[in-house]
């Protein structure tokens, strides 16, 4: 019977492990793994082979293989295009922080991939890197990553939470296309550019906070986001693109900042429950005239002193005036005074006038309020000195 001694076994095992990998030698005398020929689904990539350090995972190295778990050594600095493309059984990849470069389509269609830690030293996430990774439920983009590539997380149906660090400046087109489990997205202030249709078809999305430096809402950004109810639009946006909010059927109202000068074709089309658009500035230029097509409940409100409204604007519009909020908290008597909340556009000035008799009323100015945040609280400590007192709001 042929038998190996213990020392012989220890010598043979590394040879067998090395034999499972194909590799190429780089110019700096390091190695890049180019393929895996083993049958084991649990794969530990060695840090060195034949005395040379493994620093890269090459183009398509594990493409379409039946691996389930892959651990990369700390020596690896780059992962090439299509490295784990369509590895349908892959559930986890341990990627070291030393990785500074990841190519495109790296984890495309890895439908079983349930967890993935983005390395801390990575600068960008490549195009289509996690497309169709339907088992991913959450993702944290660490500080240092500046760019999220085109379709990077497209059709990740299970992705419910995405956290982006304050280093991200660019979110590519279709980046989160069809991520139907996303409910809430907060984009960091560092984001200055968002690509076309980045959140197209995110049918579970309810609330979005857009970054303050954003100057354009691209075409189809929230198209078919049918549960979207809240959008905080920053004051630097000049353009709202074609179909930007098309078929956002749960959207009921939205405030449009004064910076907006152009609204594209069908931008708010098929928003059947949209009841109010509050414009803080002059009337914008419209696209094909069907910007609000199907929005039969819509009223457009415009501020006094702004231009381009009235009959010349191709949609019914009415003045947007300050309102007292009798249903809001704080309305009525409190601490020997009477008060209520005033609601209007941010930065507007509202005068509160009073009188004691509506018949032949003589109104007297009582208080001036600057609505720095879109609301202010009015308080009248003298109200008990009068048997009856009336209040009105007046724009200044």
Residue pair 153/139 in contact (Cβ under 8 Å)? The answer is yes
Alpha-helix runs per DSSP H in the chain: 6-19
Q: Is the pLDDT of residue 271 over 80?
A: yes
> For residues 330 and 377, what is the distance between their CA atoms, to the nearest angstrom?
8
Tens digit of each residue's pLDDT (9 = 90 or more) over 326-381: 766 678 777 777 889 999 988 899 999 999 999 989 999 999 989 988 888 898 98
Q: Which of 1-15, 61-75, 109-123, 260-274 has the lowest mean pLDDT?
A: 1-15
User: How many other β-carbons are positioned within 10 Å of the β-carbon of residue 321?
Assistant: 14
Q: Which pLDDT score is estimated for 315?
A: 87
Q: What gap in Å lies between CA 114 and CA 68, rounded to an integer?
A: 11
Instruction: Residue 343: count other Cβ atoms within 10 Å of its Cβ.
Output: 16
Give the lowest-confidence range in 17-31, 51-65, 257-271.
17-31
Positive or negative: CA dihedral 272, 276, 280, 283: positive
Mean pLDDT score across all residues of the chain: 91
Q: Three-class SS of residue 352?
A: strand
Mean pLDDT of 218-237: 94
Portion of the chain with pLDDT greater than 90, in percent: 78
Exposed/middle/buried for 360, CB within 10 Å: 0-12, 13-18, 19+? Answer: exposed
pLDDT for 8-25, tens place per residue? 433 333 444 556 999 999
Query: Of 103, 205, 130, which is closest to residue 187 (Cα–Cα)?
Result: 205
285-296 per-position pLDDT tens digit: 998 778 999 999
Rounded-to-integer distance, Cα 248 and Cα 336, Å: 46
Give the integer Cα–Cα distance in Å for 279 and 85: 47
Confidence band of 383 (pLDDT split at 50, 70, 90): confident
Residue 269 vs residues 92, 128, 242, 355: alpha-carbon distances, Å? 42, 29, 10, 45
Q: Are 251 and 274 in contact (CB under 8 A)?
A: yes
CB distance 252 to 268 below 8 Å: no
Cα(89)–Cα(66) distance, rounded to whole angstroms?
Answer: 6
Is the model more confident about 258 or about 372? 258
What pLDDT is recorded for position 327?
61
β-strand pairing of 253-256 with 276-279: parallel
By DSSP bridging, strand 193-194 and strand 230-232 are unpaired
Task: Specify the pLDDT at position 230.
Answer: 83
List own/partner pairs for 48-53 with CB under 8 A and 24 or more apart.
48/75, 49/18, 49/21, 49/23, 50/18, 52/25
Contact 91, 112 (CB under 8 A): yes
DSSP tag of 118:
P
Tell me the pLDDT tens digit for each residue of 182-222.
999 989 999 999 999 999 999 999 999 899 999 999 999 99
Tell me which of 372 and 261 has the higher pLDDT: 261
Q: Which two tokens stand for residue 58?
A: 């090459």
Dist. CA 145–CA 55, nearest whole Å: 21
pLDDT at 64: 98
């Amino acid at each position: 019977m042929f038998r190996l001694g213990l020392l012989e076994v220890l010598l043979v095992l590394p040879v067998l492990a090395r034999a499972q990998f194909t590799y190429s030698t780089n110019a700096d005398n390091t190695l890049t793994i180019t393929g895996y020929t083993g049958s084991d689904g649990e794969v530990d990539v060695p840090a060195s082979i034949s005395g040379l350090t493994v620093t890269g995972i090459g183009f398509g190295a594990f493409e379409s293989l039946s691996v389930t778990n892959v651990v990369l050594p700390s020596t690896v600095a780059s992962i090439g295009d299509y490295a784990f493309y369509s590895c349908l059984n892959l559930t986890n990849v341990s990627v070291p922080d030393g990785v500074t470069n990841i190519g495109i389509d790296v984890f495309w269609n890895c439908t079983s991939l349930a967890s993935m830690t983005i390395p801390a030293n990575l600068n960008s996430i490549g195009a289509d890197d996690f497309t169709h990774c339907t088992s991913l439920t959450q993702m944290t983009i660490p500080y240092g990553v500046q760019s999220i590539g085109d379709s990077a997380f497209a059709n990740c149906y299970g992705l419910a939470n995405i956290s982006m660090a304050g280093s991200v400046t660019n979110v590519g087109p279709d980046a989160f296309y069809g991520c139907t489990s996303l409910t809430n997205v907060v984009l960091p202030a560092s984001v200055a550019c968002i690509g076309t249709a980045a959140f197209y078809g995110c049918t579970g999305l309810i609330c979005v906070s857009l970054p303050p430096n954003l100057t354009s809402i691209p075409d189809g950004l929230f198209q078919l986001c049918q549960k979207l109810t809240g959008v905080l639009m920053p004051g630097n946006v000049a353009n709202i693109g074609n179909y930007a909010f098309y078929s956002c059927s749960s959207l009921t109202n939205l405030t449009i900042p004064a910076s907006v000068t152009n609204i594209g074709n069908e931008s708010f089309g098929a928003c059947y429950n949209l009841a109010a658009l509050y414009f803080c500035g002059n009337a914008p230029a419209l696209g094909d005239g069907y910007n609000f097509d199907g929005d039969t409940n819509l009223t457009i409100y415009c501020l006094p002193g702004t231009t381009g409204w009235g009959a010349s604007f191709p949609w019914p519009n009415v003045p947007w005036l300050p309102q007292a909020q009798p249903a809001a908290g704080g309305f009525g008597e409190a601490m020997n005074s009477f008060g209520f909340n005033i609601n209007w556009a941010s930065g507007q000035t509202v005068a509160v006038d009073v009188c004691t008799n509506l018949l032949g009323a003589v109104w007297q100015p009582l208080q001036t309020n600057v609505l720095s945040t879109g609301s202010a609280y009015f308080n009248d400590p003298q109200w008990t000195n009068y048997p009856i007192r009336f209040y009105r709001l007046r724009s200044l």
